[in-house]
A and B are shown apart, each in its own frame.
Chain A
């Protein structure tokens, strides 16, 4: 059996609907209209130990809901999750000792105490021994470049600094699995690169299984080959990133502008969509051709 097994997972939310305006607000005092939204609908997948898997999909597709069920926060309506032999919701307290979680849009650090105090508090919460804590802290401080911000209260950190501290905080107890829900949201290019580098590093060093969600395709390309795509709560694709690229990126449209008006030659292997005086629009099959090859011809 694989490390993480998810079978036929579903979760439905009730959402209160109200039309805008005062009149409708009064109406909804008496009677509420609710609609059911299938946030996650019959999803199954397996993940092996040490893998990095990106979980992607548009806003509201059900990514975070799945993560919340995998981390034991939400109870699934139906279906089964087994992670490392645990049922996350039913064995929550035992289970969460082995996982680290970062929600990019929320903060796990205590707002008004320095970063290091937060780490110490987490150390006690997870019952980490003093030696282990010192060792890990040193490593995380080095890898994530936290030295200058350890003594700063969290409220005074920049977003990039905070996110680095958040990621460090999720690893104080040396978890086997790390869940990252949009870890690079709102970060600038340099911070993103740093965070990515770090994620790769701990995956390689400690064989931490990583499940992340992100809207940033460069994040995903840099970190992983395996992606799971969901939309409207359903699984649409599970496989290698290259394969999906090949599948949907077969043809590219190429527009070529010519300086001189000349007779445009017919080009082999390519379909000509449009042909004007000095412009030509081509549909190039990327499996057989490359753009430079087409231009040469």
Chain B
């Protein structure tokens, strides 16, 4: 466990080292947040949804910007991919750890490290905005608590999905093809691109049983209260089940990969 913690620490330090990248990421989040809040306000001035108020929508937009690095689908872990391509993965296999969990926690720590550098400025900024655009407080303490839990579980869901894609790319030696298919669907179905309550009902019905809405949509809707409490609890239960399923699939693929795949080069 200690090793994973030190890895997280070193990942954080690397993040701090590249100040320009952090700053650039931050300004992207501000930019998108502002643009989206303007666009949605314009839409809502003509028509609005009964079960999804403008305040709830703004919470969704700003939380999404603040915690974007925790939940965005296409984690570019170039490091893992280049290790696969140039055979550096040989070293990973000489270490006394399970490669699946190591990579899993590596991706997870990358997400949390980059979130730690970005979420606070965005949250502060969003709280200070004028009414109608700002991030309002959560509906209750309970919903704040459930928000934190479901957001954390959501990062486990997305990392499980990332690991499946990463393991498959061990076979194909390339993650762009398979990645772009997955990630396009995921951006739509997870609510990262457009908040899920704004999507057609039929799509949401299908989506209900899939893992993608459990990545971040659930957490944001819990915070703003646009999802009823009983549904939140059921969904958190679904999150836990999906986490197990995704890890199981990923581990199976990884096991297959390690007995079959060759190590590239030299």
Contacts and interface: CB of A to CB of B under 8 A. Distances in A.
Bound together: yes
Interface of A: 13, 64, 68, 71-75, 92-94, 96-97, 99, 101, 103, 105-108, 110, 112-113, 117, 120-121, 124-127, 181
Contacts of A124: 2-3, 5-6
Most buried by A among B17, B93, B263: B93
A113 B13 contact: yes
B158 to A, nearest CB: 24
B13 A125 contact: no
B6 A96 contact: no
Contacts of A117: 10, 13
Nearest to A97: B96
Interface string B69-101: 000000000000000001110110111111000
12 contacts: A64-B266, A73-B90, A73-B94, A74-B262, A75-B259, A103-B91, A106-B87, A106-B88, A106-B266, A107-B91, A113-B14, A125-B97
Contacts of A127: 2-3
A112 B14 contact: yes
Given A68-B263, A73-B263, A113-B13, A121 B95 contact: no
A37 B258 CA distance: 19
B262 A112 contact: no
A258 to B, nearest CB: 50
Interface residue range, chain B: 20 to 34
Interface in B247-266: 258-259, 262-263, 265-266
B68 interface: no
A121 B105 CA distance: 14
A96 B10 contact: no
Interface in B210-266: 258-259, 262-263, 265-266
Contacts of B93: 71-73, 92, 96
Contacts of A75: 258-259
Nearest to A74: B263
A96 B96 contact: yes
B4 to A, nearest CB: 9
B171 interface: no
B7 interface: yes
Contacts of B5: 124
Interface in B5-31: 5-7, 10, 13-14, 17
Contacts of A112: 14, 17
A106 B91 contact: yes
A113 B96 contact: no
A107 B88 CA distance: 7
Contacts of B91: 101, 103, 106-108
A105 B90 CA distance: 11
Contact of B6 (A103, A108, A120, A181): A120
Interface in B96-113: 96-98
Nearest to B2: A124
A93 B265 contact: no
Given A13-B262, A125-B3, A127-B2, A99 B94 contact: yes
